[in-house]
């Protein structure tokens, strides 16, 4: 018999996880009573511990679905809140605090909530029972309580006391039963008293005669009868001598002893009276009633499960083509696909790609150096006159002795500036950034795009690895290029290559300049307009026109913004002039020979940049790329594969709404199948027990 209830309660628990549905559950015992009727004391006497929220203000705002699990082979007593995923709680005061917090989380304006708190208590001292504790009925609303509170509690209780649930109606002996709100509520839904157990508390507060009369009540006769109890737990703060102390071990025994003493002292409750008294008999009664009620519901519940299962199976077939899915398999597949795309990327991003990236970056650095050190006509300062001799044209002329010396120093210092730029750090970060960008792109193109959690995990993984590797690699690379900082020899073939390449770079730069000019022309209203503005700016520059103020409010009939754009156009024109001139120089015969390197700084610096690139790409390919390619997939496994708990995998998979719906159907179907199987097992236990009792 014990086994059967246990199993049914287990099935009830399983059904709770399937989801809230009225027909998809097994009945429970619903506990109702007015505030202060002694409802908590009765429940705590059954559980053996004080664990319910207490306080002058009403603290039960949500139903508590209390499942008691008898564990005969263990000494441990503990509680679990399955929905919260907390660990076992062995301290019942902690359970009390958690319940209080969960209750207080209901906003005051909502008064009460019908979202139940699930609490399981495991102990060798509890019976297997499933109880639902509801907020106590209140007679008058307190000053700080909303007026609709009373109504809301009544509505909430009404919802739960529907058939086939068993009603445990608690009334205090010192209150006229005709006034018992619990009994009145129960009579409304169970007029013939077929599924109500009456409990009369505080029997010690009335004369035994009167107490006995209450238990014999015929006005609202209950088939399951009335049980009289005394389960007062004196407050620990009270100075009066307590019957037993709160929290001092298990209180079930203490209550039972106290009741035995009380009822034993009054012959009115003796065995001949056939009255039911004491929490011990109440426990027994509840177990019997629950088992019978649950067993009676098995058939209808089983049919409801069959129906639900048929629906889920149909949906699975029609919507998902019976495609199996679990959070774990989904994650594993997604991860495999991602790693596969990553492998594809590694095959396309090697030394050649690193080289191209680095050379481009160094080309830009060379252009900047050239502009700063060679092409630096002070064009931006419009009011200053042009320098008398243009250093560029000077370069082309036959140099007098002194000039030559200047060009020598200029080139040496430029080349030193390039090699001492911090190429180690620059090159490493350029390649690391490129890798990160590619990873981001791979994520966006993968299934993980719809999973913020995975996205972040992957980004963090690559970030962390790259950061970790870059630190040392940058320093080591810097050491590799150290020799170039002191001496650089350029071979003939390197010179020729540099000459070709820098011509290309200059041409590209020229194109960038020209397209920028075009854009400006569009913005300023045509080529003619640009010409006019530029002519004005030139006149200002050559001192033919003096600007009043800084030309902030506009000048020469042009607005300030036109002038600003005009200055940009002048800069671009001058830059284009320089580029064209240098392009000619690079292509000239003079620059074909590396002996003339001081006059061909573009070619020389390009050749230096090329040497630096060669050292860097070799090193970064061997160190950064291959190490990253090795570590990253393993890190992915650690962060997203084996590293995740089943709950985390489920949370991950459910981030994608499509997958979530699919998983819901699959999991619902599996759970219902599981429940049905459990119910089949139940039938076997039932049959066995029948045979056993028949034999006896």
The residue among 246 and 531 lying less far from ligand GDP, judged by its C-beta, is 246
Strand ranges inside 366-454, DSSP E: none
205 near ligand GDP (CB under 6 A): yes
With CB under 6 A as the contact rule, which of the stretches 87-95, 224-232, 580-588, 669-677 interacts with ligand GDP?
Answer: 224-232
With CB under 6 A as the contact rule, which of the stretches 201-209, 299-307, 407-415, 441-449 interacts with ligand GDP?
Answer: 201-209
Q: What letter would DSSP give residue 397? A: S
> Site size for ligand GDP, by CB under 6 A?
17
33 near ligand GDP (CB under 6 A): yes
Contact 14, 695 (CB under 8 A): no
The residue among 36 and 141 lying less far from ligand GDP, judged by its C-beta, is 36
Q: What letter would DSSP give residue 482? A: G
Q: To the nearest whole angstrom, how small is the minimum distance from the Cβ of residue 101 to ligand GDP?
A: 19
Rg (alpha carbons) of the chain, rounded to whole number? 44
Q: Of how many residues is the chain composed? A: 696
With CB under 6 A as the contact rule, which of the stretches 229-237, 286-294, 409-417, 637-645 interacts with ligand GDP?
Answer: 229-237
Q: What letter would DSSP give residue 167? A: E
Contact 142, 35 (CB under 8 A): no
Contact 162, 175 (CB under 8 A): no
40 near ligand GDP (CB under 6 A): yes
Q: To the nearest whole angstrom, how small is the minimum distance from the Cβ of residue 265 to ligand GDP?
A: 15
The residue among 136 and 633 lying less far from ligand GDP, judged by its C-beta, is 136
181 near ligand GDP (CB under 6 A): no
Choose, by CB under 6 A, the member of 10, 13, 14, 36 that binds ligand GDP.
36
Beta bridge partners, 118, equal 65
201 near ligand GDP (CB under 6 A): yes
Phi and psi torsions of 550, nearest 5°: -110, 15
The residue among 48 and 566 lying less far from ligand GDP, judged by its C-beta, is 48
- Residues from 424 through 483 that contact ligand GDP (CB under 6 A): none
Dist CA 52 CA 517 (whole Å):
79
- Binding track, positions 114-143, relative to ligand GDP; x by CB under 6 A: ----------------------x-------
Q: To the nearest whole angstrom, how small is the minimum distance from the Cβ of residue 234 to ligand GDP?
A: 7
Nearest to 137 by CA among 127, 149, 146: 149
Which residue of the chain is nearest ligand GDP when measured via CB?
40
CA angle 441, 442, 444 (to 5 degrees): 65
180 near ligand GDP (CB under 6 A): no
Cα torsion through 497, 500, 502, 506, rounded to 10: -170
The residue among 202 and 355 lying less far from ligand GDP, judged by its C-beta, is 202
How far from 685 is each of 29, 625, 680, 688, CA to CA, in Å? Answer: 23, 64, 9, 5
Dist CA 28 CA 163 (whole Å):
10
Contact 269, 212 (CB under 8 A): yes
Q: What's the token pair of residue 40?
A: 């908590």
Q: To the nearest whole angstrom, how small is the minimum distance from the Cβ of residue 39 to ligand GDP?
A: 3
565 near ligand GDP (CB under 6 A): no
With CB under 6 A as the contact rule, which of the stretches 33-41, 149-157, 320-328, 359-367 interacts with ligand GDP?
Answer: 33-41
Q: To the nearest whole angstrom, how small is the minimum distance from the Cβ of residue 55 to ligand GDP?
A: 10
Nearest to 562 by CA among 535, 543, 544, 587: 535
The residue among 232 and 662 lying less far from ligand GDP, judged by its C-beta, is 232
Contact 602, 590 (CB under 8 A): no
Neighbours of 690 (CB within 10 A): 10
Q: To the nearest whole angstrom, how small is the minimum distance from the Cβ of residue 684 to ligand GDP?
A: 40
Choose, by CB under 6 A, the member of 5, 16, 25, 37 that binds ligand GDP.
37
Q: What's the token pair of residue 394?
A: 């000077």
96 near ligand GDP (CB under 6 A): no
Contact 223, 229 (CB under 8 A): no
39 near ligand GDP (CB under 6 A): yes
Q: To the nearest whole angstrom, how small is the minimum distance from the Cβ of residue 270 to ligand GDP?
A: 20
The residue among 45 and 503 lying less far from ligand GDP, judged by its C-beta, is 45
Neighbours of 105 (CB within 10 A): 11
Choose, by CB under 6 A, the member of 5, 41, 297, 334 that binds ligand GDP.
41
- Binding track, positions 515-554, relative to ligand GDP; x by CB under 6 A: ----------------------------------------
Choose, by CB under 6 A, the member of 38, 79, 116, 566 that binds ligand GDP.
38
Contact 563, 378 (CB under 8 A): no
279 near ligand GDP (CB under 6 A): no
Choose, by CB under 6 A, the member of 65, 80, 190, 204 that binds ligand GDP.
204
Q: To the nearest whole angstrom, how small is the minimum distance from the Cβ of residue 215 to ligand GDP?
A: 14
Neighbours of 152 (CB within 10 A): 17
Q: To the nearest whole angstrom, how small is the minimum distance from the Cβ of residue 244 to ligand GDP?
A: 12
232 near ligand GDP (CB under 6 A): yes
61 near ligand GDP (CB under 6 A): no
Sheet holding 276-277, edge to edge: 78-80, 117-123, 64-70, 129-133, 29-33, 166-172, 196-201, 226-228, 276-277
113 near ligand GDP (CB under 6 A): no
211 near ligand GDP (CB under 6 A): no
Burial 124-142 (b: 16+ CB within 10 A, else e): ebbbbbbbbbbbbbbeeee
Nearest to 1 by CA among 679, 692, 677: 692
342: Cβ contacts below 8 Å, ≥ 6 apart: 439, 442, 632, 633
The residue among 259 and 361 lying less far from ligand GDP, judged by its C-beta, is 259
Binding site for ligand GDP (CB under 6 A): 33, 35-41, 136, 201-202, 204-205, 230-233
């Amino acid at each position: 018999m014990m086994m059967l209830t246990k199993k049914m309660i287990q099935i009830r628990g399983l059904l709770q996880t399937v989801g809230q549905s009225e027909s998809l559950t097994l009945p429970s015992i619903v506990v109702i009573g007015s505030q202060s009727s002694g409802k908590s004391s009765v429940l705590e006497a059954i559980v053996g511990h004080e664990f319910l929220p207490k306080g002058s203000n009403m603290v039960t705002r949500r139903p508590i679905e209390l499942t008691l699990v008898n564990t005969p082979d263990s000494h441990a007593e503990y509680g679990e809140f399955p929905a919260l995923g907390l660990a076992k709680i062995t301290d019942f005061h902690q359970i009390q605090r958690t319940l209080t917090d969960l209750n207080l989380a209901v906003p005051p304006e909502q008064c009460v909530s019908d979202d139940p708190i699930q609490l399981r208590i495991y102990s060798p001292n509890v019976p297997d029972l499933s109880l639902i504790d509801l907020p106590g009925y209140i007679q008058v609303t307190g000053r700080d309580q909303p007026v609709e509170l009373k109504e809301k509690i009544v509505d909430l209780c009404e919802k739960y006391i529907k058939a086939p649930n068993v009603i445990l109606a608690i009334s205090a002996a010192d209150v006229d039963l005709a006034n018992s709100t619990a009994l009145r509520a129960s009579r409304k839904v169970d007029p013939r008293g077929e599924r109500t157990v009456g409990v009369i508390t505080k029997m010690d507060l009335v004369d035994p005669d009167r107490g006995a009369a209450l238990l014999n009540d015929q006005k609202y006769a209950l088939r399951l009868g009335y049980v009289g109890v005394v389960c007062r737990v004196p407050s620990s703060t009270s100075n009066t001598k307590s019957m037993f102390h709160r929290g001092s071990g298990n209180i079930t025994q203490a209550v039972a002893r106290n009741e035995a003493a009380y009822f034993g002292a009054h012959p009115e409750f003796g065995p001949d009276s056939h009255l039911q008294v004491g929490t011990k008999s109440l426990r027994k009664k509840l177990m019997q009633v629950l088992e019978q009620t649950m067993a009676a519901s098995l058939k209808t519940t089983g049919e409801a499960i069959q129906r639900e299962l048929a629906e889920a199976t149909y949906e699975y077939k029609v919507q998902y083509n019976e495609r199996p899915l679990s959070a774990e398999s989904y994650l594993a597949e997604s991860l495999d696909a991602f790693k596969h795309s990553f492998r594809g990327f590694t095959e396309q991003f090697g030394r050649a790609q690193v080289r191209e990236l680095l050379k481009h970056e160094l080309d830009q650095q060379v252009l900047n150096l050239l502009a700063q050190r060679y092409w630096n006509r002070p064009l931006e300062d419009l009011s200053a006159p042009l320098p008398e001799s243009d250093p560029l044209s000077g370069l082309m002329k036959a140099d007098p002795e002194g000039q030559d010396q200047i060009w020598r120093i200029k080139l040496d210092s430029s080349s030193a500036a390039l090699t001492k730029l911090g190429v180690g750090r620059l090159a490493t970060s350029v390649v690391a950034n490129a890798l990160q960008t590619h990873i981001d792109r791979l994520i966006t193109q993968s299934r993980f795009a719809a999973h913020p959690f995975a996205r972040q995990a992957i980004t963090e993984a690559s970030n962390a690895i790259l950061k970790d590797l870059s630190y040392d690699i940058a320093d080591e690379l810097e050491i590799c290029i150290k020799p170039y900082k002191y001496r650089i020899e350029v071979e003939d073939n390197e010179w020729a290559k540099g000459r070709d390449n820098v011509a290309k770079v200059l041409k590209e730069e020229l194109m960038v300049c020209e397209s920028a000019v075009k854009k400006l022309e569009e913005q300023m209203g045509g080529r003619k307009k640009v010409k006019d503005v530029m002519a004005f700016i030139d006149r200002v520059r050559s001192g033919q026109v003096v600007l009043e103020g800084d030309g902030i409010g506009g000048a020469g009939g042009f607005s300030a913004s036109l002038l600003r754009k005009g200055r940009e156009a002048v800069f671009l024109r001058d830059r284009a002039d320089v580029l064209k001139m240098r392009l000619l120089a690079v292509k000239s015969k003079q620059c074909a020979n590396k002996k003339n390197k001081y006059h061909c700084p573009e070619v020389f610096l390009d050749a230096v940049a090329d040497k630096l690139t060669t050292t860097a790409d070799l090193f970064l390919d061997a160190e950064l790329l291959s190490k990253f390619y090795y570590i990253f997939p393993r890190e992915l496994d650690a962060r997203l594969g084996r590293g995740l708990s089943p709950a985390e995998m489920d949370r991950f998979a459910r981030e994608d709404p499509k997958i979530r719906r699919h998983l819901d159907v699959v999991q619902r179907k599996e759970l219902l199948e599981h429940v049905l199987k459990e119910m089949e097992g139940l039938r076997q236990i039932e049959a066995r027990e029948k045979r056993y009792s028949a034999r006896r």
